[in-house]
Each structure stands twice: as structure tokens, then as C-alpha cells.
Amino acid sequence: METQAPRETSDTDRTSGRSLSAKQFWELMERWRVPDSMALDLIGFAGKMGKSGKRPRFRFSPLQRRATSWLSEIAAALAPAGEDPGWLHRESRAAPFKGKTPLALMVAAGVSGMAEVLRFLTRAALRRALRR
């Protein structure tokens, strides 16, 4: 009997969060005050906004579902880290941001950028808990 080696997973595969529905995704983007075009870039949507300005209707691809699960985890990690959604729009010199905003990092690096943002927030929450 042939056995298979365990599948290696990268940090970008390891989210325990659930993916968001399209409605939940747009609600989160509104809470975070992310413009629609940037929200679509955030999940790697290949299309563009319609001329009417309406949000396009589409089904999430597997990669987009994975991205929304990272976004769900990030949303849950903001408060324990002592941050509000506005933090996502503020430039930071801290690694891994290098003068960019967390949102800009996530758009530029995709799921791996989301993993970096979540790691940053997790460390911040741990530091905050240890100070108490």
C-alpha cells in the first residue's frame, strides 16, 4: 500500500476563518471604508467596475474565497490588537509595511500580504495582552 507524504502548507494556506459571502465582503469593505475598485483589487477580481458605477455581480473563485477568509481573520484581529479599521489606511514604517498602508500591502501582495497583516496584528495583540 502506497502512502502519501503530508501536504506541505504555507502560511497563506493556514486560515481558520470562514470565507465571506459577497454580501458580507461588501459590508466589510464599507465598514473599512475601502473604495469599490480597491476592494475588487484586494480579492484579485479581473474585471472592472461597470460604467454605471454598480458593483459587478460575480461568484468568488477559490483564490478569492481564500482571500475573504483572510479578510475575515484580519477583521477579527483588529480590536484585540488595539486597532480600528482606520489603521488599515494609515502608512506605517514598521515591517512589513515599509511606508505603505496595510491595505496597500494586501493589494500589492495578495494573500501573502494578508498573511503579513494578520501576523502583525497577532503580534500586536499578544504584546497588548502581556502588558495587562
Q: What is the pLDDT of residue 9?
A: 39
In the structure, what pLDDT confidence band is assigned to residue 13 with cuts at 50, 70 and 90?
very low
| 86 touches 42 (CB < 8 A) | no
Q: Is the pLDDT of residue 77 over 50?
A: yes
pLDDT digits (tens, 9 = 90+) for 25-67: 999 999 999 999 999 999 998 877 767 778 877 889 999 999 9
d(CA 38, CA 25): 13
Q: Is the pLDDT of residue 3 over 60?
A: no
Q: Would you kindly state where each structural domain of the chain is located, as residue ranges? A: 18-131
Q: What is the pLDDT of residue 52?
A: 77
